[in-house]
Amino acid sequence: MEGNFPMEDIAPIAILMDELRSEDVQLRLNAIHSIPTIALALGPDRAREELIPFLQDSVDDEDEVLLALAEELGKNFEEYIGGPEHAHVLLGPLENLSAVEETLVREKAAESITKVASVLSQQQIEQYYIPLLKRLSQGEWFTSRTSSAALYPAVYSRVSPAVQEELRKGFTSLGSDDTPMVRRAAAKWLGPLLTHFSHQHIISDGLPIYRKLQQDEQDSVRLLTVEDLIVIAKSLSPAEIKEQLLRQIKQSIGDKSWRVRYMAANHFNELSEALGIELVREELIGQYVQLLKDNEAEVRSAAATQIPGFSKLIDKEVILARIVPCVRDLSQDSSQHVRAALANQISGLAPLLGKEATIEHLLPLFLHLLKDDFPEVRLNIISKLEVVNTVIGIELLSESLLPAIVELAEDKSWRVRQAIIEYIPLLANQLGKPFFDEQLGNLCMSWLGDTVYSIREAATINLKKLTEVFGVEWAKVAIVPKVMGMGSHPNYLFRMTTVQAITTITPSLNLEIIRSDVIGPLLELSKDPIPNIRFNVAKALEVMAATFGNSAEGRSFVQDWIKPTLERQLNDPDADVRYFASRALQKAAGVDT
């Protein structure tokens, strides 16, 4: 790319260069985001010789400016300085950014350095990247040493064996650094680096680094070694794991710090799969039960998320003997977050246990969790019922759970009723149309007449969602007649609910249903003695005009049915009715042209 910009374009480039030197942070930030434009205007030679050295001296700046610079240099910037053969030039400013105090800047600089590394040749890596890596790894300030840890994995497999040996020694030093932040970085990047090690070097170099970090005095270092452990386990045979790693695995699972135990619990399935079924059955069942019974709620929550995955690796008898008792305890845990985590996973046990064991051991727990005080617990149970349905069948499921759902739907607390309403579309989707029509249809309609406004409002939204689940033809038969029937009820609240329900579900219906079943009764309500109902009819007509007014047929419908009614309402004695009718007419006029 050459700098062939016409003279009139050079002035803005000069301005941008001045902005890079400006005292105004926002101006400098804008200029940093424009450096590709500057580089393109200068051409590759001048960009390398003038722009990059200038940027290299720009480290004494605000953190947000430095962050933007670190990010821009990683966005294929080599294209502006002559291509990959010159990409190593970018390492200079990025090296400086890797040593600044602000963590976010250092991390972004390290990320950009590894992106640059991906386009470097082996010769460029050994001539420019490796010296940079050594300087950062041996830097006086811990900030540069911390950044260096992230740079090892990107090039390890692309250099000669002799350089690889130097890299292993350099990373070993980071793992023994005096500063906890450096050791933390080493623990974080050890796993990605080990994926490039040969089996021999994992044993000779990787394991010693891991063991030292796994026994670090800082729990913030130890917790990061759990992921390193998984990488190592994947590369070793079961016999080698037993000999080399088993003690460390048990130490991490039983660590005195709950944060380390949390990490072990959170990655337990990955660890189990890396170890293999035989070792899991011999060594890990007791360890897992220990995590499910941990005295910290966060650890129990993390362990609960692993229940189905771990249970797949063990026999059904062991699940019943060791895991199900823990599940029973967790369903009554004092922490709502633990119960919610369990509720999200417990259904995954059903396919593993089969029909009879699910009915005997899990159904009572589903019922218990379905009555939980914490809404998320109930939602998590309902959202996963489909899995249970496939194991025990809809008939049995409905027999067992429907009474609990109905009971909650009629709970004296309106908040509980509202929570159940919100789950109904999800439940309907899981259980299917025939079951819903038979068991829950009437219940949904009954909420439209609830004494609490929030429930009536939630019930109308529920009808809209059900229409989206089952389709407009279903709605025409199951919903619309019942909703419109309430429009002639002597109690004005029921008539109001009809209008609000129509307003809500109109976008989910089609013009044919509106024309044949809805518009007639709705226009009757435009003459209701209650002003609130009349102006809500105007709102409903506005929605109809917006929904259907884009087609020729819809415009005709608006012209014939909606506009005459709204024009009549312009003369209504009530000011609110006149206002909403006027607003709706504007919408109708917009679609009429």
**Helices 180-194 and 207-214, packing angle to 10 deg:** 140
CA 378 to chain centre: 21
Range of 291-295, 406-410, 524-528 with top mean pLDDT: 291-295
Average pLDDT over residues 297-304: 95
- Does the pLDDT at position 8 exceed 60? no
Q: Which of 17-21, 77-81, 333-337, 456-460 tops mean pLDDT?
A: 333-337
Mean pLDDT of the chain: 86
Pairwise pLDDT comparison (404 vs 235), residue with the higher score: 235
Mean pLDDT of 23-31: 75
Which token pair is 89?
A: 């030039």
Phi/psi class of residue 257: alpha, beta or left (left: φ > 0; alpha: ψ in -120 to 50)?
Answer: beta
Q: What is the pLDDT of residue 59?
A: 62
**Contact present, 298 and 262 (Cβ < 8 Å):** yes
What is the C-alpha separation between 478 and 474, in angstroms, rounded? 6
Structure tokens at 146: 């911390």
Identify which of 227, 280, 290 has the alpha carbon closest to the alpha carbon of residue 253.
Answer: 290
Least confident of 50-54, 179-183, 327-331, 537-541: 50-54
Query: How confident is the model over 166-218, as pLDDT tens digits?
Result: 999 999 999 999 999 999 999 999 999 999 999 999 999 999 999 999 999 99
Cα first-last separation, the chain: 52
When mean pLDDT is compared across 92-96, 245-249, 385-389, the lowest value belongs to: 385-389
Higher pLDDT, 225 or 27: 225
**DSSP result, 363-375:** HHHHHHHHT-SSH
Asked if pLDDT for residue 11 goes beyond 70, the answer is no
The confidence score (pLDDT) of residue 22 equals 65
Q: What type of residue is 372?
A: D
- Judged by average pLDDT, the poorest of 237-246, 441-450, 513-522, 566-575 is 441-450
Looking at residue 18, its pLDDT comes to 66
| Cα distances (Å, whole numbers) of residue 521 to 75, 328, 527 | 62, 54, 11
Task: Read off the pLDDT of each residue in 266-285 and give the average, rounded to a whole number.
Answer: 91
Q: What is the pLDDT of residues 547-578, one digit of tens each?
A: 888 888 888 888 888 889 889 989 999 999 99
Only one residue has tokens 């219940």, namely 443
Q: What is the structure's pLDDT at 254?
A: 92
Q: State the pLDDT at residue 287.
A: 93
Residue 591 has pLDDT above 70, yes or no: no
Degrees, nearest 5: CA angle 460-465-471: 115
Task: Tell me the average pLDDT across 351-363.
Answer: 89
Residue 7 has pLDDT above 50, yes or no: no
The model's pTM: 0.73
- Which of 18-32, 93-107, 444-458 is predicted with the least confidence, judged by mean pLDDT? 18-32
d(CA 403, CA 367): 10
CA distance 345 to 348: 6
Least trusted range by pLDDT, from 78-82, 164-168, 430-434: 430-434
Q: Is the pLDDT of residue 461 over 60?
A: yes
Work out the percent of the chain whose per-residue pLDDT is above 70.
94
The CATH-assigned architecture of domain 9-120 is Alpha Horseshoe (1.25)
Q: Say if residue 239 is exposed, middle or buried (CB neighbours under 10 Å; 0-12, 13-18, 19+).
A: exposed
pLDDT of residue 4: 45
Predicted pLDDT at 551: 83
Record the tokens describing residue 317, joined without a space. Answer: 């008898």
pLDDT 10s digits, 36-62: 888 888 888 888 888 888 888 766 668
Per-residue confidence (pLDDT) for residue 9, from 0 to 100: 43
Residue with tokens 């700046």: 61
With 50 as the cut, is the pLDDT of residue 593 above it? no
With a cut of 70, say whether residue 15 has pLDDT above it.
Answer: no
